[in-house]
């Protein structure tokens, strides 16, 4: 568990999180800019499958974002292997009711700190569809640098094609944010 000022990052709990996860991940606005691995519509079965997979992670790389005792979203990293060893993909999402409150930034900062402390990583990276300005801003506030544009690099769920931004953060550049683990 990682404790921030306004939220907690913890492993997903099979008995407690499935119903809430399906509810907050269900709206199109939540899924719109997510990788297509994130289902839409997001069903109870999808939630149960995700939690079953996430509960097998050791160490934990996918965290539930808890705000005021409620599941509010998720944040995670996906360590790469082979020629990309030492790099992890970085991502996050929040239910609509939690947008605009700085929670994605806080969760992202906590995960950045945890990622470089707990894993042998030299780099974190994330891709953001160019129209998703809010998500790009979250990454910048977490210390990431926009490194490039992937022309026509993102297909929205409605089929629209957009440029994508590639963001990166090196261990040597990572800011130190305040967190408590427990």
Closest by CA to 92, choosing from 101, 79, 81, 103, is 103
Confidence of residue 57 (pLDDT cuts 50, 70, 90): confident
Query: What pLDDT score does 178 carry?
Result: 52
| Cα–Cα distance for residue pair 44/46, rounded to 1 Å | 5
pTM above 0.85, yes or no: yes
2 pLDDT more than 90: yes
Question: Which domains are seen in the chain, by residue range?
Answer: 2-181 (3.40.630.30)
**Which residue, 13, 40, 12, 36, is CA-closest to 26?**
40
Q: Are strands 145-155 and 180-181 parallel, antiparallel or unpaired?
A: unpaired
Nearest to 118 by CA among 34, 70, 57: 57
């Amino acid at each position: 568990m990682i404790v921030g000022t306004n939220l907690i990052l913890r492993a997903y709990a099979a008995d407690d999180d499935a119903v809430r996860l399906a509810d907050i991940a269900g709206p199109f606005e939540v899924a719109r800019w997510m990788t297509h691995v994130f289902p839409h519509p997001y069903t109870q079965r999808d939630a149960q499958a995700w939690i079953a997979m996430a509960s097998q992670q050791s160490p934990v790389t996918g965290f539930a974002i808890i705000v005021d005792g409620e599941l509010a979203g998720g944040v995670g990293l996906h360590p790469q292997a082979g020629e990309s060893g030492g790099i992890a993909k970085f991502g996050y999402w929040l239910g609509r009711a939690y947008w605009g409150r700085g929670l994605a930034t806080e969760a992202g900062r906590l995960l950045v700190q945890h990622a470089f402390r707990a894993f042998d990583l030299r780099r974190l990276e994330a891709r953001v569809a160019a129209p998703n300005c809010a998500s790009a801003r979250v990454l910048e506030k977490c210390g990431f640098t926009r490194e490039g544009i992937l022309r026509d690099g993102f297909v929205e769920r409605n089929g629209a094609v957009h440029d994508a931004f590639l963001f990166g953060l090196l261990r040597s550049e990572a800011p130190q944010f305040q967190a408590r683990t427990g």
